[in-house]
Amino acid sequence: MKKFLTSLASLALTLAITACSGAASQNSKTMTDTQNNTASNGDVIVDMKTTMGDIKLRLFGDTPRHRDNFVKLVNEGFYNGVLFHRVINDFMVQTGDPNSRDAQAGKMLGEGDPGYTIEAEIDYPRHFHHRGALAAARTGDNVNPERRSSGSQFYIVTGQTYNDSTITQMEKRMEMQAMQDAFNRLALAHRDSIMEMRRNRDQAGLQALQEKLAKEAEAEVAKNPVKITDEVRKAYTTEGGTPHLDGAYTVFGEVISGMDVVDKIQKVETDRNDRPKDDVRIISMTVEK
């Protein structure tokens, strides 16, 4: 059994907490059908005007839930006036919090959304966190095991380049994380029995179930081994990006022009919460016809 797998005894407490909590009330809804002026399939181009310049985005047709939701919000003017509220040099720039529009200087941001989440459309390695990738923000796995996306917040990857040996090390860590994720999903399915054994202090039962689930997790990952493809490896060693986010967040588009503007945004001075000290704002967004 892999030593890195969380024990069921400790995982039981996490499951108990997760079962009794969740995202804030504004995140409790889910997105249903959206009405917009996009085609039922195919990529969509969006023009973004910011206070630091223009950025052109491509929304992928094979992530239709995220594409359609983004187009809906753009057409409603949802993003007009919203700040880039979280900016980290050599990592990413994040925006989409509606509470940021009239936020006072220094106010903590990042909790706002339109009142729903979006089902994940994670498609790695087809879509990965290369420089210029557009991806959806979300709450953490502890309260969001399905990795549902925020209804509005998104980030653009800047990242950094990596040498080949570092990429290989990351591949190994991704494999271990995939094993852990599989184990946690299986454990969640056995939550009731785990909690019962924990209440009864049945350590032998917990240990036996842990070993059983660990073997099942290993078998599950073996069917779809985690590998960094040659294409992905080349992108991260030449263009750069944030490979440690792959497989955990939905990448649903990319920058096709204006990365110089994104680079200017990532270089601005920020406070201790990574908010730019001088506001960087989305002026408007429009969908190209």
pLDDT tens string 85-136: 999 999 999 999 999 998 998 899 989 999 999 999 999 999 999 999 999 9
**253 in the same domain as 224:** no
Give 41's pLDDT tier (boundaries 50, 70, 90).
low
190 within 8 A of 152, measured Cβ to Cβ:
no
> Is 33 a member of any domain?
no
pLDDT surpasses 50 at 255: yes
Averaged pLDDT for residues 14-19: 42
Tens of pLDDT along 42-74?
999 999 999 999 999 999 999 999 999 999 999
Q: What is the pLDDT of residue 6?
A: 54
User: Residue 53: which domain range?
Assistant: 39-161+239-287
Exposed, middle or buried: residue 192 (CB in 10 Å: 0-12, 13-18, 19+)? exposed
Averaged pLDDT for residues 5-15: 49
**145 in the same domain as 247:** yes
**178 in the same domain as 43:** no
Tens of pLDDT along 143-177?
998 999 999 999 999 999 999 999 999 888 888 88
**132 in the same domain as 181:** no
**75 in the same domain as 191:** no
> Is 28 a member of any domain?
no
Separation CA 236–CA 230 (nearest Å): 10
**88 in the same domain as 203:** no
**279 in the same domain as 156:** yes
Give 82's pLDDT tier (boundaries 50, 70, 90).
very high
Of 218, 234, 250, the residue that ends a domain is 234
Q: What is the CATH number of the domain that holds 76?
A: 2.40.100.10
Q: How many domains does the chain have?
A: 2
**167 in the same domain as 156:** no
> Is 27 a member of any domain?
no
**186 in the same domain as 130:** no
Flag whether the pTM goes above 0.85: no
Of 234, 262, 277, the residue that ends a domain is 234
> Is 209 a member of any domain?
yes
What's the full length of the chain, in residues?
289
**273 in the same domain as 150:** yes
Report percent pLDDT > 70 for the chain.
86
> Is 216 a member of any domain?
yes
pLDDT surpasses 70 at 13: no
**174 in the same domain as 121:** no
- Contacts within 8 Å (CB) and 24+ apart, 166-174: 167/228, 167/233, 167/236, 167/237, 167/243, 168/228, 170/228, 170/243, 170/244, 171/226, 171/227, 171/228, 173/244, 174/226, 174/228, 174/246, 174/247
Separation CA 139–CA 27 (nearest Å): 9
Q: What is the pLDDT of residue 63?
A: 97
Q: What is the pLDDT of residue 7?
A: 54
Of 209, 234, 259, the residue that ends a domain is 234
> Is 13 a member of any domain?
no
Q: What is the pLDDT of residue 74?
A: 98
> Is 108 a member of any domain?
yes
**281 in the same domain as 184:** no
> Is 29 a member of any domain?
no
